Amino acid sequence: MRCAEASSGGFGWPGRFGPVQRGERLRLGLGNLLILPTGFGLLWLGGSLLLQLVGIQTQRNGPLLLSYLMLSLQVLALLLTHFNLLGLELRCARSEPGFAGEPLTYPLLLSSRHPRHAVHVRLAGQPVDTAAPAPLRLAAGTSSVELGWRCRQRGLHTPGVLLIQSSAPLGLFVCWCRWAPAAAQAVVPARQRGPVALAQPPRPALGRRPLDADRDGSEHWHDLRPHRPEEGQARVAWKALARGRGKLSKVFRDRAGEKPLLTLAAGVEPEQALRHLAAEIWQRSHRGEAYGLVLPHQQVPLGQGRRHRQRCLLALATAPGAALGTARGS
Amino acid sequence: MSRTGADSGLPPRHLQAVALVALAAASVGIDPSWLLGALTLALLVLAALKLLEARDRGGRRLVALLQLLVCGLQAAQLPDLLPSLVQLLAVVLSLAGLVQLEGGVTAPWQELLRQSLQVLAAALPMALVLFLLVPRLEPLSAMPARAAGQALTGLSADLDPGSIASLAEDDSPAARVAFADDRPPAPQQRYWRVLVHERFDGRRWQRDEAGETFDAGEMADAPGSAALQPDPEAGSADTAGRTQVWLAEPSRFTAVPWDGRSGSADPRLQLLPEGELRLRRPPIERRSYRLRPAAMPLNWQRQPPGPGTLTLPAGSNPRLQALGRSWGQLAEPAERIAAARAWFESSGFRYDRRPGALPRRDGLDQFLFQSRVGFCGHYASAFSALMRAAGVPSRTVSGYLGGRWVVPLGGASYLELRQSDAHAWSEVWLADQGWLRIDPSDWVAAPAEQGAPAALLAGSDQGLGRWTWLQRQWWGLDMAWSRWWLGFDRSRQQALLAWLLGARRGALGLVILAGLALGLIAALLPWQLWRSRQQGDRVSRDLAELLLLLRRLGLQPLPAETVEAFCRRAAAARPDLAPSLERLSRSHGLRRYGRPAGQDRRAQAAEWRRTLLLLKQARPGAIRQGRTSGP
């Protein structure tokens, strides 16, 4: 799903022309790069013709040579501007979820065998404050770029059309390519304070340990016990080992039953209820509290920490609208 | 004026401001009353205002373009060495300003100048191909010039020696001339004619000033005027046998100094029937022109005299007229001239630069028969009037005599003419010889303290000030520049094309295209080499080679894995390569983090190459190849 439409906003005229390339990876080449003289380039041509005329009229070498020099610079600029983008490779990097209506960053990786000057990478249809007007100076190798953008709708969204453009070194030609990166970014419902319902956690059966008591994703440290080889190195308590207490494993356990599971508030419009949940999750996470999430399409058990919060927010972002409506009806 | 957000990402204006200052300094010699001069100054002011006003990248780009245009217009008006150097500096600064604008960062000015010079050097081969080979067009129409201006330094339109009590010692430069073989002309050949005065009113000798206010096309239409034509067959040891490059200082006259015998293919040069060579340039501009040898006497030398060349106002200078008429009894004009010479030599005339003014009426009579003291103008005026009275067509010519031969430390040797070298002489018409130069100043004695006019023939560097010495060194460079730069005109281009293509002129287009392609290759090849050098240092390239080698063996580094860890893992996977990999890992660490210098660095690079070679030889493919090729 594309959040920002392929408009020409903020691009100038190059943003309106040329096919839009698609995919998670783009290598700029002869097939997808376009190049045209800028308005300044046309003025430059006029200036060189004027000097040619002056040279002919006065029969002087100076204006003639300068006129030819300007023409040669124009030919050279055509190639240098094109070469500045030719061979540049762009890839989508792993993006972090962000809130709808707030600034998002869309990461890209730019790989180049050569240094490149003044490369503009901008997203279409974005407000000025999220655009990236400063040109990039890329060193040889891989560089990462984070593009600012905004999206008003929750879900998995692509940022729309990206314009990769350069007019270096002299600004006489503009070379560009339009690309719609395919990697989607999770957009979480906007945070809005409001009522949130609490669901009771399921009671464990007799003789059984609480559900997912020490499952992955729980980050609440509970105890230490002697290390068993099958537990791997991740749970080894290195600090204790360093203090000479032997090889011990950390035991994590969710405090199920002690904290609530958050769910949609009854009587609130589903999308708004999601926004309330987003605000609640954010606040609880910042307070260091444990919480869980119960949605019609997905349940996230109790837990805490950054990864847990990301799971919950991702669940909010991807909650299908139809399921929400059904749940509310029932 | 508040700065808006639009210019927040723009680099500072300093570079473009410096370029404007350079252009403003170079504009000092521009004549604002000429159309081109006014346009130049207007564009300069416009660029300065735009620089102050510009708040976005487009505005600042426009400033750079305006600067380049001003450079070009200045080059059309001020082609000398110093202005040309300033113009070159301004071009480099303007391009650096553009590069800075596109980069959008505040790079050090040295870096910007370097990039600007790189771009300029890359474009230069193509520009030179076009400059040298694209055929030049004739001017589409004559440029409008400014109205006749005030008199600058130089000669006077009227020769009126009687009104001059003493000659001013004006030592300002008048002209410089360089010769193809860098040898000075013989002293007797150093008469450089400029103005020809044919009308005599009893006191003043006047010239025909038609064409001095050069309106469009007037010169070409002047009756009897013709372009000088070169004669490639000509050649002799005197000045007419050698190509000359002239640089004449600004003057209000279109007439320029020349030797009276050379030709030229320059269409701007027009030769008048009386022997004046005229070149249309604005009065404030220094004129430069090339003259070439001409084997045959030029037309002006054989141009029959008009009736005006015998005219003497009735009743003026009666004693002069009587003396002249007495010589008129002699049969041959040559005898009359000889009689005049004998009379001057025997009558006690004395050369003096401060003779005092002569009366307005019958002034020449007083000079010839009473005071007998005067300078070149007196003698030329009196002798020419005497010849007219004797029935020999005559006129006076003013120009320069002598000059100082300057051999600078660098650049071209040249003959330097100053205003103090100004001289006047006579020309008489002899039916069998045409117009013949007679210098009556030669017939008189000169006081020791002032020096005879002939003494001007020999140059002397004695008593030169340091400033004059420096000035002459600079002029030597300037002369060399002019000979090379101003010398390449349409005719030289035609000669070059003839030499290149011969009769195959139809192939010129192809030659230009081929030249452009070569120029483009010459521009891009170093650029590509530079880019490839930027791919990383030697250690990084060596590491990339190792990684490529291991990748072919199916070993890939993991994300965030160090070189050492990767080599350990690879050694575990391929125990046969373990020794080499261990050495390479250690060598890489030493080269990357130990940063050895000099001999150590070279030794470790050699160690790396040897080990990598071992690794290559240890690959299965290499081993198999060794087995199959062995006995």
Substitution target from B8, B16, B30, B61 for chain A, most A beta carbons within 10 A: B61
* Inter-chain residue contact B523 with A59, CB threshold 8 Å: no
Q: Which of B105, B136, B532 sits opposite A137 (nearest CB)?
A: B105
Q: What proportion of chain A, given as a percentage, has pLDDT over 90?
A: 36
CB B517 within 8 A of CB B525: no
* Inter-chain residue contact A135 with B524, CB threshold 8 Å: no
Q: Which of A44, A75, A167 sits opposite B126 (nearest CB)?
A: A75
CB A254 within 8 A of CB A220: yes
B395 membership: H or E segment, kind and range: strand B394-401
Can you spell out the DSSP letters for B572-593? HH-GGGHHHHHHHHHHHHHHHH
List B residues 554-613 in contact with A (Cβ-Cβ < 8 A). none
pLDDT, tens digit, 9 for 90 and up, residues A96-121: 889 998 888 888 888 888 888 889 88
Q: What pLDDT sits at residue B575?
A: 85
Q: Does residue B105 sit at the A interface (CB-CB below 8 Å)?
A: yes
Residues of A in contact with B71 (CB under 8 A): 66
Q: Which of B75, B102, B119 sits opposite A63 (nearest CB)?
A: B75
* Inter-chain residue contact A72 with B536, CB threshold 8 Å: no
The single-letter DSSP state of residue A288 is T
Q: Which residue has the higher pLDDT, A273 or B592?
A: A273
List B residues 528-557 in contact with A (Cβ-Cβ < 8 A). 531-532, 534-536
Instruction: For residues B121-150, give the mean pLDDT.
Output: 75
Cβ-proximal residues to B325 (8 Å cutoff; 6+ apart), any chain: B389, B390
pLDDT, tens digit, 9 for 90 and up, residues B507-561: 899 999 999 999 999 888 887 777 666 555 678 778 877 887 888 788 888 877 8
Determine the angle formed by the axes of helices B109-133 and B81-103, rounding to 10 degrees: 120
Residues of A in contact with B98 (CB under 8 A): 169-171
Substitution target from A74, A76, A85 for chain B, most B beta carbons within 10 A: A76
- Min Cα–Cα distance to chain B from A40, Å: 7
The single-letter DSSP state of residue A186 is E
Q: Does residue B484 sit at the A interface (CB-CB below 8 Å)?
A: no
Q: Which residues are A292's β-sheet partners? A: A261
* Inter-chain residue contact A57 with B139, CB threshold 8 Å: yes
* Inter-chain residue contact A61 with B79, CB threshold 8 Å: yes
Give the residue on B whose Cα is nearest the Cα of A67.
Answer: B72
Nearest by Cα to B283 from B154, B171, B141: B154
Substitution target from B62, B71, B73 for chain A, most A beta carbons within 10 A: B73
Tell me which residue has tokens 């690959």.
B619
Q: Which of B76, B138, B519 sits opposite A55 (nearest CB)?
A: B76
Amino acid at B490: R
Categorize the per-residue pLDDT at A62 as very low, low, confident or very high, splitting at 50, 70 and 90.
very high
The two beta strands, B373-374 and B394-401, are unpaired
B533 membership: H or E segment, kind and range: helix B508-533
Rounded to the nearest angstrom, the gap between the alpha carbon of residue B268 and the centroid of all alpha carbons in its chain is: 16
Instruction: For residues B111-125, give the mean pLDDT.
Output: 90
Look at the alpha carbons of B606, B609, B615, B617 in this order and tell me if their dihedral is positive or negative.
negative
Q: CA angle, A246 as apex, A240 and A251 as ends, to 5°?
A: 60
What is the length of chain A?
330
Pairwise CA distance, residues B420 & B172, whole Å: 8
Nearest by Cα to B336 from B429, B423, B274: B429
* Inter-chain residue contact B73 with A40, CB threshold 8 Å: no
Instruction: For residues B294-323, give the mean pLDDT.
Output: 87
Instruction: For residues B263-285, give the mean pLDDT.
Output: 79
Structure tokens given for B286: 């220094």
Q: What pLDDT sits at residue B154?
A: 54
Pairwise CA distance, residues B320 & A174, whole Å: 83
* Inter-chain residue contact A60 with B79, CB threshold 8 Å: yes
Q: Which residue has the higher pLDDT, B52 or B591?
A: B52
Q: What pLDDT sits at residue B2?
A: 39
Q: What pLDDT sits at residue B342?
A: 93
pLDDT, tens digit, 9 for 90 and up, residues B380-422: 999 999 999 999 999 999 999 988 888 877 777 888 888 888 8
Q: Which of B76, B105, B523 sits opposite A58 (nearest CB)?
A: B76
Tell me which residue has tokens 């001059």.
B164
pLDDT for B278 beyond 50:
yes
The single-letter DSSP state of residue A105 is E
**R_g of chain A, CA atoms, integer Å:** 29
Categorize the per-residue pLDDT at A199 as very low, low, confident or very high, splitting at 50, 70 and 90.
confident
Amino acid at B375: F
List A residues 130-169 in contact with B (Cβ-Cβ < 8 A). 133-135, 137, 140-141, 167-169
* Inter-chain residue contact A58 with B91, CB threshold 8 Å: no
Categorize the per-residue pLDDT at B626 as very low, low, confident or very high, splitting at 50, 70 and 90.
very low
Cβ-proximal residues to B150 (8 Å cutoff; 6+ apart), any chain: B252
Q: How far is the CA of B402 from the CAs of B183, B186, B427, B568, in angstroms?
A: 14, 10, 18, 90
Structure tokens given for B563: 């070189």
- Min Cα–Cα distance to chain A from B487, Å: 9
Q: What pLDDT sits at residue A252?
A: 67
Nearest by Cα to A37 from A165, A171, A168, A169: A171
Q: Which of B486, B524, B535 sits opposite A113 (nearest CB)?
A: B535
pLDDT for B316 beyond 60:
yes
List A residues 243-282 in contact with B (Cβ-Cβ < 8 A). none
Structure tokens given for B559: 């994300």
Q: What pLDDT sits at residue B624?
A: 33
Q: What pLDDT sits at residue B170?
A: 67
Substitution target from A38, A51, A56, A72 for chain B, most B beta carbons within 10 A: A72
Q: What pLDDT sits at residue B211?
A: 60
Residues of B in contact with A58 (CB under 8 A): 36, 76-77, 139, 143
Q: Does residue B23 sit at the A interface (CB-CB below 8 Å)?
A: no
pLDDT for B155 beyond 50:
yes
Substitution target from A119, A142, A170, A173 for chain B, most B beta carbons within 10 A: A170
Is the peptide bond preceding residue A169 cis, with omega within 30 degrees of 0? yes
CB A253 within 8 A of CB A213: yes
Among A101-115, A253-267, B231-245, which range has the highest average pLDDT? Answer: A101-115
pLDDT for B128 beyond 90:
yes
Helices (H), chain A: 39-58, 61-85, 238-242, 270-287, 306-317, 321-329
pLDDT for B429 beyond 60:
yes
Pairwise CA distance, residues B409 & A210, whole Å: 101
Rounded to the nearest angstrom, the gap between the alpha carbon of residue B204 and the centroid of all alpha carbons in its chain is: 37
Among B481-495, B569-583, B613-627, which range has the highest average pLDDT? Answer: B569-583
Pairwise CA distance, residues B477 & B285, whole Å: 19
Q: Which residues are B269's β-sheet partners? A: B279
pLDDT for A226 beyond 90:
no
Q: What pLDDT sits at residue A216?
A: 45
pTM across the whole model: 0.64
CB contacts < 8 A, A to B, total 155
List A residues 60-99 in contact with B (Cβ-Cβ < 8 A). 60-73, 75-76, 79-80
CB A199 within 8 A of CB A263: yes
Tell me which residue has tokens 């030769």.
B271
The single-letter DSSP state of residue A228 is -
- Min Cα–Cα distance to chain A from B75, Å: 5
